[in-house]
Amino acid sequence: MLNIKVLGSGCPNCQKVEEHTRQALADLRPAGGYEIEHVKNPLDISEYVLKTPGLVINETVVSEGRIPDTAEIMTWLADALLASE
């Protein structure tokens, strides 16, 4: 199972990261399922990144302070799936 956290206050950039992540998940359709959470609390965000938007997959920060495209997120998700096997 993939555990995904989108980090940010809910601004348009954070929403775009979540949108790209959901698109990548729809394309990848991970067999073990996934859980996606949008973390908006500044204290919780600061445990992972200093700049938002941020993206965390299985407790590993994969992106900070930028909007990754769907293909890049799909690569990170596939890597996380391989690592969890």
Q: Confirm whether 14 is a catalytic residue.
A: yes
Q: Confirm whether 11 is a catalytic residue.
A: yes
> Which of these is catalytic: 4, 6, 7, 14?
14
49: left (phi over 0), alpha (psi -120 to 50) or beta: beta
**Which residues are 14's β-sheet partners?**
none
**Token pair listed for 71:** 């293909």
**Which residues are 34's β-sheet partners?**
2
> Which of these is catalytic: 1, 11, 78, 83?
11
Catalytic (active-site) positions: 11, 14
